[in-house]
Amino acid sequence: MDHDDVVPTSDTTPGTASGTGSRTAPGAGTPSGGAGAPGGPYGELLDRLAAGLPPEALLTDPDVTVAYGRDMASFCDAGTPAVVVVPRTVEQVQHVMRTATALRVPVVPQGARTGLSGAANAADGWIVLSLTKMDRILEISPVDRIAVVEPGVVNAALARAVAAHGLTYPPDPSSWESCTIGGNIGTASGGLCCVKYGVTAEYVLGLDVVLADGRLLTTGRRTAKGVAGYDLTRLFVGSEGTLGIVVKAVLALRPKPPERLVLAAEFPSATAACEAVCAIMASGHTPSLLELMDRTTIRAVNALGNMGLPETTEALLLAAFDTPDPAADLAAVGELCAAAGATEIVPADTAAESELLLQARRSALPALESLKPATMIDDVCVPRSRLGAMMEGTAAIAEKYGLTIGVCAHAGDGNTHPVVCFDHHDPDETRRARESFDAIMALGLELGGTITGEHGVGVLKKEWLARELGPVGVELQQGIKRTFDPLGILNPGKLF
């Protein structure tokens, strides 16, 4: 999932997704041989790929390949790839990249396509490299507390496998039942439990990566610590497939924690709820989860699932602890919430009750998606101390543009997810939705935050990435891109 202006070619090279404004490698979308080659417009490309791949690894029916053209992001152009390759081995991935290099054809690495930034989007004539069939858990070591996996392993499948050994893999994106480890690595995913356990980058110890020219690079380690050379492993995490194709990962595991208990606190305003968040974190508590939903989200959740949440409240805060004495921690947090103005505090007594409370948070996104035909999901992270200002500012933006914008947040991280709900059949409402999205990102930067805490940049936010990094930062990152991908064939048009 990657980059663009790394090859001095025409800005209108065929195969570039409409409207992306990016430049791609020579021949992008028109592999050598062109329309007159045997077998149709992509004859030579398909022939070369077929020479090193089993027939079942090549998908060429346009009715099938079009489905691989994009991820779940709105406002991101996409096309129909020339071919979808579904490899099962490292050698097959290497063959694809050698072929792509020889013919100068762009390649888009994909996982489960649950991303929200357009990072997995293809353009006409590109190769999509779907890694979902490379789905083996190669090793689980309770002694070393590591798992070695292929990129297509589903997050939830890994969690269940390591649980059998008394271990846990903490990163848990909301799409954990379907998203893949490779996709999590590509976008440096977060999740509900990041406030205590951290994000994907903190659990990736080593990688095997197929480079643009087909060479295999091994980075990192299997040991508990190591500082040999530059940290190339961290460089690949969050690179959105622009630097190489991850084909194996060594992941750190932790001992499985005790069952968690959850507390729900109702507040008369989002500001009061954010004051409680600040008090909880300043007091030294380490909840395993600290989530916030605004009034719009609460009402949407009730409408979708009849959850029975209090619609009179302006904000609902969920706090969880998986400590040896979670009830005592919840009681202490409850006191802090009361001091911040909570009108109702409900601690769960059992794990089952806790899961019922958490189900409301997990259903927030589908609930908001049900309000309008389309949504744009923002991902702005601010310092915890500015969370209240971010919530207030987002509400003001919703009012200014006359839109429904619900906010759910990983409050313990300051990571907000404003969801802009709109009718994409209405041109004026669509315009206002896009403008409100940009206004929210601008607000995040003004508050000292970042344009993305866990969803990545992709196509959707690359203009904003340049604003956040500044010209020197962009220049250096583009230089790294050129080093790893001198022909610009790895996921062109992403990030920059």
Q: How far apart, in whole angstroms, are the C-alpha atoms of residue 101 and residue 49?
A: 12
Helix (H) or strand (E) holding 293: strand 289-294
Q: How far apart, in whole angstroms, are the C-alpha atoms of residue 344 and residue 478?
A: 51
> What local confidence, expressed as pLDDT, does residue 72 receive?
86
Contacts of 369 (CB under 8 A, 6+ apart): 375, 419, 421
Tokens of 311: 């619609």
> For 16-57, how does the pLDDT look when each residue is reduced to its tens digit (9 = 90+)?
333 333 333 333 433 333 333 345 678 999 999 999 999 999
- Which candidate, 283, 272, 323, 300, places its Cα nearest to that of 408? 300
High-pLDDT (> 70) share of the chain, %: 92
Instruction: Taking residues 225-236, report their average pLDDT.
Output: 95
Q: How far apart, in whole angstroms, are the C-alpha atoms of residue 127 and residue 92?
A: 14
**Per mean pLDDT, which range of 72-76, 221-225, 350-354 is the poorest?**
72-76
Domains defined for the chain, CATH in brackets: 137-255 (3.30.465.10), 261-446 (3.40.462.40)
| DSSP assigned state of 55 | G
**Per mean pLDDT, which range of 17-31, 137-151, 291-305, 456-470 is the poorest?**
17-31
Q: How far apart, in whole angstroms, are the C-alpha atoms of residue 490 and residue 272?
A: 46
Q: Do 307 and 251 contact (CB within 8 A), yes or no? A: no
pLDDT band per the 50, 70, 90 thresholds, residue 99: very high
Tokens of 130: 């779907």
pLDDT band per the 50, 70, 90 thresholds, residue 92: very high
pLDDT band per the 50, 70, 90 thresholds, residue 13: very low
Q: Do 346 and 310 contact (CB within 8 A), yes or no? A: no
